[in-house]
Each structure stands twice: as structure tokens, then as C-alpha cells.
Amino acid sequence: MKKIAIIGAGVSGLAAATVVERANRAGGDVQFTLFERSDRLGGVMVTERIDDCLVEAGPDSFLSEKTYGADFCKTFGLGDQIIGSNDDERKTYIVVNNRMIPIPDGLMFMVPTKILPTITTRLFTWGTKIKMGLEIFSRPPGDNGDETVGDLVRRHYGQEVVERLADPLLSGVYGGDADNLSVRAVLPRFAEMERNYGSLSRGMLVARRKMAQMTKKMGPNYKPRPLFSSLKDGMQQVVDAVAELLPPDRLRLNAEVKSVGRDAGGWTLTVDGQSQRFDGIVVATPAHAAARLLGSMNATLSEDLGGVPYSSSVTVALIYDRASLAHMPPGFGFLVPKTENRRIRALTFVHNKFPHRAPADKGIIRVFLGGTADEGVLQLDDAEILRTVYRELRELLKLEAKPRVERVYRWNKSMAQYSPGHIERVARIKRCVAEMPGLSLAGNAYQGIGVPDCIASGLAAANSLLEAFGIHPPNGTASTGKS
């Protein structure tokens, strides 16, 4: 019997465990033990039911276009539980000088594809609008190396688009900073469009045209996917579904792996002061934790893992009587550029994005703070965080009412930042791992930080171990749809 240890029970480690468990049930001579430091499964995926509302403390949805996220849920019979964001209400604002300005129609991420909304928006000054219009004449540049998103956007559209769009959007996704994230790692499509067309706007228009042709081919009844997908009972539903599949005696909660050792016979883990032997391990912790665990075995690997920067954030969930939110602007919420000098980085009107998450008489506001620009917010106590949030909500939304419920969630060093050099770093990590048979890594530090990417990384990590042991992966777990 091959024994596999999985370290970390976030969605990456859980996905890995499902592969080994299914292989075992299919007759494979293999078994897993999952070690998790905390007292629960799911890592940053935490859903709470409070005051008849569904509150997501961590991720609240995933990008629908990453279909392997939904595919994974479907393998647990959750197909009919997948819901889409209420895109009819999709309107997002950027705060500029304390005012909510809608992101203009036709803006694909930060690339304008419609003339009129770009001309009429109050989001940009005339100098920027002219630069945006002229961008269509850009020619493919020489090699700009592994530049940052900030540099790329600045070259094409100017500093204002970095400040008012690129930075807030990336802060919303990565808790990061446009001037610190690698284009090739986080927006590879942009790098490709620039190579092929010179102009990002031209590249995006071509992509739009192709998309329109495809949509036409699908016939009149075709309905495009919603931008975001989630689960009716929250993201934790997938964690609970996985937990039902996994034998409880293979799950070790409150079990921090303190060290990992390796010899010719396999791997030794120290947990609760005791050594345990395994044939293979999947390290599905954040990279900084993986660096500590693997440090004694391979200094280069440990240095590269430890070198992946992580950001920390705080989410605040507030439940209100819906009547006190009557004067809120319509839409999903807003993003706050750093130049506004506020602590709130982003806000979601959850009851608009996913209406059934709150009953008709209640509304949920979710606020994000922190990220690389404001790690200090984690040093504040809850009362101080709430005071700051209430003050800023008063100033930005004239929201005076007190919520029925307030919750503060802290996410210390949880979001990997793909800085310039990330792709080479991951290639070096993969080379080191290949030299250490029986080791696999999974998590958000490598090839995508979104929930679907983490699922894909967990599936791939476990599959590669099974393959090395000559055990065929069971159907439905080998293909993640992600190359």
C-alpha cells in the first residue's frame, strides 16, 4: 500500500485528497492522510450563516470562464447548486475624489473597446482619453522583459489608467499592486495581444469579434455564462461535499506538520512530536509554509518558495436592514484607488451580486481592507477596524445606520503575489521538485490564485504522484481542463 501525506486542507489539499481517495476506491493500492494545522477543513474558504444571511469570509465566487472550477463541483453532484452572479445588476464604481464613478461600458478589464462610453466617462481626464484613443495605433514593441502590469498599462494608456483602474482591479483580485505584479504571470493574454497586435485595444476588439461570431453560431437561445459562479449555500458547500467523500479517519485536524525529512525509503513527517512515514507527500500549504517544511532538504527550493511574496487582507461583513441601504447606488460595489488615501480597498453589495444570499428585508455589505499597500491594517484590533470602516462608509456612501451584525475576518499572508520573475521562479521550483521523487506541490503560489486554479493544482499534484507510483488516476480526476 502506497501512503501519501497531504499537508494543508485548503481547497488545494482537499482536491488532492479526492484524487487519492477515488484511486483507492477504484482498487488502487494507495491511501492518504490529510494533515491540517487548524481545526477545520477549507483553508480560506469559510461560509457562515448569520441572521438568515449567507456570509462569505474568504472567496465568494470564482470566474465562470475557468470551467474546471464548476467541473470539480459537478463531480460531487453539485451541478444544480452552481449559481451565477446577477450580471443584470453588474455595475462597478471607482471612487475618485470621494465620488462613485461607474466603470465605463465596453472596458474589458482595463482595455477600452467602445468609443462613446470612453469619451463620456468622468473616470479619466481628456489627456488620458486622447491617449486611450491613440493607443490603437501602437506597434508591437521590442522585448520589454518581464515587466509589471503597471508598466505595461502606463506605456499604453498612461498613469491615470494605472491609478484609477489597473491598480484597484488588481488590488481586488490579488490584494496586490499593479507595479509589483508580472504581466506575463497575471495577464498573459495582454502580453500576447501586445506581441501580436501592438495595440491592446486592437487585440481586444479582435477577441470581441471572435466571441460575437461564436455567440452567433450558438443560436438565438445561447446565453453567455455569468462572469462569476458560486454555490447556492456558499463556497463552503464544496468543502462539505469533499468532506463527505473523505473517510474521517484519514483527516487529521489540529495537526500541524512541524518538519519533513526524506531518505531512500521515503518521507518522514513530524506531527505532534511523532514521526510518521509516507511514500509521497503533497505540500498544499502557502509557499512560505512549504519553504519552512522543505528548507532542510533543498536550500534552493526553500529559497524560491520563501521568495514568493504574499499579501494579507481583512474582510468585514456587515448585515443591515435593507431599508437603511435604500439610498445605496445600484450595482455590485466599488473599488478604491490608493490615491484616495482610504483604508477600504473594495466593497461589495452582496445582496445585488448574489441576491438570494440575503432575505428581501436585509442587505449584506462586504468590505476589503489591507493588501500590499496597507498590511498595517492587520495590526489594528477589530474595534478599530470597524470604527475605520464605519467612518469611511459614512464619508463615501452617507451610510449612517448601524448594522445588525458585524464580523471581521483576518487573512494573514494568504494571497500569493506573482511579481516579475515569477514564471522563472516556478520553473526552478518544478525542476527541484522533479529531482525529489515522491514530492508534489499544490496551492495558490504557482499557476493561479483563484479557487479553480487551486483545485486544478491539487488534482495535478496528486495525479503526478499516482502516476509516479504506477497507479492509474480514476476517471474524472485526471483532466482539470487546464493546461
- Which of 173, 423 has the CB closer to ligand FAD? 173
User: Which one of 152, 318, 449, 456 is in contact with ligand FAD (CB under 6 A)?
Assistant: 449
- Where in 260-289 is the site for ligand FAD (CB under 6 A)? 284-286, 289
- Which of 94, 260 has the CB closer to ligand FAD? 260
Q: How many residues sit close enough to ligand FAD to count as binding (CB under 6 A)?
A: 36
Which H helix or E strand runs over 301? helix 299-306
**Residues in CB range of 415: below 8 A, 6 or more apart:** 174, 175, 176, 310, 311, 312, 313, 371, 444, 449
10 Å CB burial of residue 65 (0-12, 13-18, 19+) is exposed
- Which of 292, 322 has the CB closer to ligand FAD? 292
User: Which one of 339, 450, 468, 469 is in contact with ligand FAD (CB under 6 A)?
Assistant: 450
- Which of 96, 149 has the CB closer to ligand FAD? 149
User: Which one of 6, 19, 21, 43 is in contact with ligand FAD (CB under 6 A)?
Assistant: 43
- Which of 190, 411 has the CB closer to ligand FAD? 411
HEC per residue, 352-392: HHCHHHCCCCEEEEEEEEECHHHHHHHHCCHHHHHHHHHHH
CB of 238 to ligand FAD, least distance (A): 11
- Residue in this structure with the C-alpha cell 482619453, named with its chain if needed: 129
- Residue in this structure with the C-alpha cell 511579481, named with its chain if needed: 419
Contact 13, 282 (CB under 8 A): yes
Span of 32-40, 91-99, 133-141, 202-210 interacting with ligand FAD by CB under 6 A:
32-40
CA neighbor of 394 nearest in space, from 344, 322, 338, 332: 344
Backbone dihedral angles phi then psi of residue 444, each to the nearest 5 degrees: -90, 10
Alpha carbons 286 and 293: distance in angstroms, whole number: 11
Q: Can residue 370 be called a binding residue for ligand FAD (CB under 6 A)?
A: no
Q: Is the dihedral of CA 178, 284, 454, 369 positive or negative?
A: negative
147 three-class SS: coil
- Residue in this structure with the C-alpha cell 451580486, named with its chain if needed: 353
User: Which one of 58, 104, 168, 333 is in contact with ligand FAD (CB under 6 A)?
Assistant: 58
CB of 286 to ligand FAD, least distance (A): 5
Q: Nearest 10 degrees: CA dihedral of 476, 478, 479, 483?
A: 170
Q: Can residue 45 be called a binding residue for ligand FAD (CB under 6 A)?
A: yes
Q: Can residue 315 be called a binding residue for ligand FAD (CB under 6 A)?
A: yes
Q: Can residue 408 be called a binding residue for ligand FAD (CB under 6 A)?
A: no
Alpha carbons 337 and 354: distance in angstroms, whole number: 25
Which H helix or E strand runs over 316? strand 310-321
Span of 40-48, 110-118, 124-132, 144-152 interacting with ligand FAD by CB under 6 A:
40-48
232 three-class SS: coil
Binding flags for ligand FAD, 326-365, as an x/- string (CB under 6 A): ----------------------------------------
Span of 34-42, 185-193, 207-215, 345-353 interacting with ligand FAD by CB under 6 A:
34-42
10 Å CB burial of residue 335 (0-12, 13-18, 19+) is buried
CB of 454 to ligand FAD, least distance (A): 4
- Which of 123, 449 has the CB closer to ligand FAD? 449
CB of 312 to ligand FAD, least distance (A): 9
- Which of 59, 234 has the CB closer to ligand FAD? 59
Alpha carbons 271 and 120: distance in angstroms, whole number: 61
CB of 216 to ligand FAD, least distance (A): 30
CB of 230 to ligand FAD, least distance (A): 8
- Which of 24, 447 has the CB closer to ligand FAD? 447
Contact 140, 195 (CB under 8 A): yes
Span of 38-46, 81-89, 161-169, 300-308 interacting with ligand FAD by CB under 6 A:
38-46
Binding flags for ligand FAD, 454-473, as an x/- string (CB under 6 A): x-------------------
Span of 54-62, 132-140, 202-210, 272-280 interacting with ligand FAD by CB under 6 A:
54-62
HEC per residue, 96-127: ECCEEEECCCCEECCEECCHHHHHHCCCCCHH
Q: Can residue 369 be called a binding residue for ligand FAD (CB under 6 A)?
A: no
- Residue in this structure with the C-alpha cell 468622468, named with its chain if needed: 122
User: Which one of 444, 463, 477, 480 is in contact with ligand FAD (CB under 6 A)?
Assistant: 444
What secondary structure does DSSP assign to 401-423, as a single string? PPPSEEEEEEEEEEEE---TTHH
- Which of 59, 150 has the CB closer to ligand FAD? 59
Q: Can residue 439 be called a binding residue for ligand FAD (CB under 6 A)?
A: no
Q: Which residues bind ligand FAD (CB under 6 A)?
A: 7-13, 35-38, 43-45, 58-62, 256-257, 284-286, 289, 313, 315, 411, 414-415, 443-444, 449-451, 454
